[in-house]
Structure 1
Amino acid sequence: MSVLQLLWMLVKLVPMPAVVLWKLLTTLRAPYNKNRNFKRIICDCAFRYVASALTVPEIRAYAGTTLGVYTTWAKKAKIPPIVDEIGGGARLLWVGPKRLGDVILFLHGGGFAMPPHEPHLLFLHHVRTEMERKRVTPGIAMLNYSLWPESTFPTPLTQLCLAVEFLLVAGVDPQRLQLVGDSAGGNIIVQLLSHMLHPHPSVPVLNIPGTLRSAHLISPWVDLRCCSSSWSANSGIDYVSKEGLGWVGARVASSARSETDRIFIHPILASRMWFSGLPTLVSTIRITAGEKELMVDDILALADILREHHGNVEVVVQEGGFHEDMFLDFLVGERTRGGLMEGIVASLVSGCAT
């Protein structure tokens, strides 16, 4: 990024204090904020401004890399970084000890274009410590997949297949493997399910000797067209930007070369029979969404499609919640607000054998 581009970014941030103050004053008593404290509401206002004022490339320029975010956090948390190179430009980044009994494989969000941010790792660390407190000791690994624009569909899907295969070869039982993904990460998990039912010709076939234990989709981004009613109804309420996600979504989706590609990228477009056979792939599916997030209509529509073929799909909508709401709780230190976090931990605990 040039000096002029940096200066222009700073100019765009100049109005931020005034805008945040105005938004704070006008939304402090809004019904959707009734369970948020003052610090969290300020954080939401600041994120909302940055997401609307800066472009995706501008934010990406200062977001770093997935490996860099991970190693910086590990140093701060005084946890030894453990990295597995799994081929295809991908890595597994272990959050805590590398354990191959029960394993949680996490795919971070970020619109396919951003690395994880620190709250992702705080979330995973919290999950691990809470599960250990309940005497359950999983290994937790985050997939370091390639980001847009350096890579396009189906590269992240291929890398997820490599990650699952790496874990299976290492001895992990499919019934002890749980997949967790937020936003774009949730989309990639659904891509994996599509690939297992309808193998994509550009992606290696993934043969799993059994059924995966669970898939947890946290505010999954399942329609990159950004056109359902909630994208308008919750614009300006949710902290993420309709314009920013629409911009990057259109570019990520432009890599589709066929109608099948479009279904993989936008699973909301799948026919009613597309997910037939889903129970043979994964034992349970848990989907969470925020009542006030942009994507909520799309998330609930996908849940309805999955429920037609799978009898164990749980859907939790957080009252007044935003997109992947709990991650901002971690950012401001409110780690246990509401029941969404506790529900995720309880569900992951129930999916473990140890």
Structure 2
Amino acid sequence: MRRGWSSNHLVFISLFSCKMSLSSPNQFGNPSWAERATAIASLLLHMPLVLIWTLLTSPFHPVNAYKSWKRVLADKLFHFFTKHLNAAQMQWILGDTYQVYTAWMKGKGLSPVIDDLGENTRLFWIGKRRTDRVILYFHGGAFLIPMPFFFADFWEHTLTQLQHRGVDAGLAVLNYTLVPSAAFPTQLRQAVRALDYLISTGVRPENIQITGDSAGANLALQFMSHLLHPLNGIPKIRLSSPIRGAYLMSPWVSLSGEGGSLVSENDNDVVGTKCLAAWGRQVLAGIPDSQRPYIEAIKASKPWFSNLKTVVDRVLITAGDAECLRDEIVIVADRICRDHEGAQLVMHKRGVHDDPYFDFLTREAKVGEITPIIWDWLAAGFKQS
């Protein structure tokens, strides 16, 4: 993997600078002027001190001691960002996924490849638009913040790694509406629209693999739940064959959990317990209990996914053993794996939430242990089609 800063990092810095200086009341994410001032002061004054202290104490930390100094700083930066800024502040600084994607493509010297599906639903293609084999990707961010640019770096590199394994595929990022602009089940409706669109262009279900991280993996679970238990008001999906696979990275399976690893890993993970709880309250606001199993897989009954094999051929779930969501992910994964012989859970030793992505933020010379497993699994799925 390349070392140093790429053009995409510089584009991200430029986007950050523009957001800080040119924000207007009409754009997405509109914190008060006091919140803006607080965000700037926190990032410029408080964060450097926290990063320095984290680096100095990292040799004595149970997780950081095994990381490069770049990963230590990157993980703590992400943790600081999510801990000290609220959703409106993060949206103000980061913008939306369209802005991140177009800036990322500009950094690559490429023109954006976008399919507008209507109802504020779009597909952003990383690489060429294809109709033979497609990865449909749901990005994370607690349904509140956009896809980070280094997530796109990971998936671009994934396509390259698939080619090295003899597989050519396309990857489409679902641009769904973020909270508070829209609430559940809007994002599920947009996911259904995206799959219907891909099938209408000639992509067969057995040549589609759905992937998602964190809230994106939550959306993938919503999608699979809807396949099994159609939700009123959302179009039904009629498949000619099961979808080839679903990969869930650090899925956000409980938005209201507490205890267990949410407490024990609070100081180890890149996203803390209080942050997860605050985000969960925002996303769950107004959702009736009858619909909670769709957006909180841990609240689904044990037989909820018992027929999953009929709609998704293979399932891979990965998590870090140092992430706050670990215990809840294990519970849901065990239920899925119990009834689906093609499902598996892989635990990343000393891994944090969405761990594989952070190697691409810091341009690590070597990727983590779980990343090649992901690439091999995706390649194997397409080779079966």
| TM-score, length-scaled by structure 2 | 0.88
**Other-structure match for 1:212:** 243
**Other-structure match for 2:13:** none
1:284 maps to 2:314: yes
Distance 1:131 1:301 in 2: 31
Number of matched pairs: 353
> Which runs of structure 2 are paired with 1:1-354 in the superposition (5 Å)?
1-13=31-43, 14-259=45-290, 261-334=291-364, 336-353=366-383
SS in 2 for 1:286: strand
Distance 1:335 1:221 in 2: 29
**Residue identity matched to 1:108:** H
Identity %: 34
Q: Which moved more, 1:22-31 or 1:49-58?
A: 22-31
Q: Which moved more, 1:41-50 or 1:320-329?
A: 41-50
Q: Which moved more, 1:31-40 or 1:271-280?
A: 31-40
RMSD of aligned alpha carbons: 1.5
Distance 1:90 1:310 in 2: 31
1:226, 1:242 within 8 Å by CA — same for their partners in 2?
no
Distance 1:170 1:11 in 2: 49
Deviations 1:168-217 (A, max 9, x none): 11111111100000000000111111111111002111111110100000
SS in 2 for 1:351: helix
SS in 1 for 2:346: strand
Q: Give 1:10 shift.
A: 2.3
**Residue identity matched to 1:306:** I
SS in 1 for 2:137: strand
Deviations 1:208-230 (A, max 9, x none): 11101000000000100031411
2:245, 2:312 within 8 Å by CA — same for their partners in 1?
yes
**Residue identity matched to 2:347:** V
Distance 2:196 2:286 in 1: 25
Q: Give 1:89 shift.
A: 1.3
Deviations 1:280-316 (A, max 9, x none): 0111100000110010111111001112221111111
1:228, 1:297 within 8 Å by CA — same for their partners in 2?
no
Distance 1:189 1:3 in 2: 36
**Residue identity matched to 1:98:** R
SS in 2 for 1:62: helix
Q: Give 1:276 shift.
A: 2.0
Q: Which moved more, 1:219-228 or 1:157-166?
A: 219-228
| TM-score, length-scaled by structure 1 | 0.96
**Residue identity matched to 1:229:** G
Distance 1:154 1:3 in 2: 32
Describe the shift of the 1:101–1:335 C-alpha distance in structure 2 as closer, same or farther (beyond 3 A). Answer: farther
Distance 1:228 1:44 in 2: 23
1:52, 1:244 within 8 Å by CA — same for their partners in 2?
yes
**Residue identity matched to 1:57:** A
**Residue identity matched to 1:52:** K
Distance 1:153 1:335 in 2: 40
Unaligned segments of structure 1, at least 5 residues: none
**Residue identity matched to 1:344:** I
Q: Give 1:335 shift.
A: 6.2
SS in 2 for 1:8: helix
1:289, 1:299 within 8 Å by CA — same for their partners in 2?
yes
Distance 1:110 1:45 in 2: 17
Deviations 1:304-346 (A, max 9, x none): 1112221111111111110001111111101642221111111
Q: Give 1:34 shift.
A: 4.2
SS in 2 for 1:342: helix
